[in-house]
Amino acid sequence: MSPSPDDQGMRLQRSSRDTAALIPRLTAWLATQLPAGADPALTLGSGIDSNGMSAETLTLTLTWREDDRQRAAELIARVVPAPGDFPVYEHYNLPHQFEVMRIVAAASNIRVPRVRFLEPTGDVLGTPFLLMDRVDGLVPPDVMPYTFGNNWLFDATPEQQRRVQDSTIETLAALHAIPDAATTFAFLAPSHPGAGLLERNLNRARAWYEFSVRDTGTSPLVERILKWLTDNLPEPGETVLSWGDARLGNVMYRDFVPVAVLDWEMATLGPRELDVAWMLFGHRVFHGIAETFGLPGMPDFMREEDVLDAYAAYSGVRLGDLTWYTMFAALNYAVVFLRAGGRQIHFGEMERPGDIEVLLHHRSIVERMLADLGA
């Protein structure tokens, strides 16, 4: 019998924090941010555990008084993990996330949640947090992956699935069309060394891997990826705003079109290919995991030729060879898997494996890619 997905570590604990205990402190802080006499009150909803793992995500209902009227807002709180809770990233820059979402909303028709409050110091809850409006819609689940079936996207008609695919690529093209990105989003340029933005992004990913291996130990497979990427750095195209984590699980849909683009923690500056390859590879990974469990997956969804055709139609730019950018996506996915598995070990959800590369759910895909490249 094949192991169940739960046995493979796909249920993830994110925090040891008592979220209910945060409400009094958060309510008192909001009283200092809202108009005098607002008398805010917060109600904690359920957490969000089917997508993402990098930050704690809470649903909140806020009520307050303003202009002699009772007001209410449905909010999402994104809270940086406590240092002892095995954070995914070494550094979380919530001010950058807050600012990029604010600018994208102002500079384009891309739908992002309205950001309302930012607390960057950690003085209130122990770590920084931001509050943004909650948007109603559906997200392709990560846990279990949407390719496993029994969810709205898998069960949709081929026409509806194509609508999701094309409307998402249209959104990506619109994001890349925001003018003068290098200046407008200059604060997102990686601080790591490098002769250009692409090398600086590579060195940012390298530093993230080096942070990860302090806990998990090194991965020979990841180091092969890093060597190939370093030895084959291409000439980058034009600089655009790169979402950084451009995948279906970070988009909320209604009627099979995006109503919110989420999770800007990895936003950066770089060529268009970074996001397009990332989106393609993300689906490839989830389809591969489904096949591992003997499931059919979604082989006709997010095919590379279809995505590139749609991107060319919406952006006017025909992208070429994505090999380097696909391998770069594989590198970053490897670090995500190492951190996710390391967190499960940390919380006692799984035993530490003898071979740390068992944590790399895309291992077979990457091994085939490297073999095809002779690397």
Nearest to residue 329, comparing CAs of 301, 365, 357, 298?
365
Q: Is 245 annotated as catalytic?
A: yes
Find the DSSP H helices in 220-322.
Answer: 220-231, 273-292, 304-315
CB atoms inside a 10 Å sphere around CB 88: 23
- Contact, 241 vs 181, CB < 8 A? yes
- Contact, 97 vs 141, CB < 8 A? no
* Identified catalytic residue from 85, 142, 166, 245: 245
Task: Give the integer Cα–Cα distance in Å for 62 and 134.
Answer: 11
**Largest Cα span, the chain:** 70
How are beta strands 56-66 and 115-119 bridged, if at all? unpaired
Nearest to residue 55, comparing CAs of 132, 111, 116?
132
Residue 59, strand partner residues: 76
CA distances from 145 to 29, 119, 156 (A): 37, 32, 15
Helices vs. strands in the chain: H and E counts, helices first:
10, 9
Residue 276 backbone phi and psi in degrees, to 5: -65, -45
CA distances from 24 to 43, 78, 131 (A): 10, 17, 16
Q: What are the tokens at 160?
A: 């509806």
**What are the catalytic residues?**
245
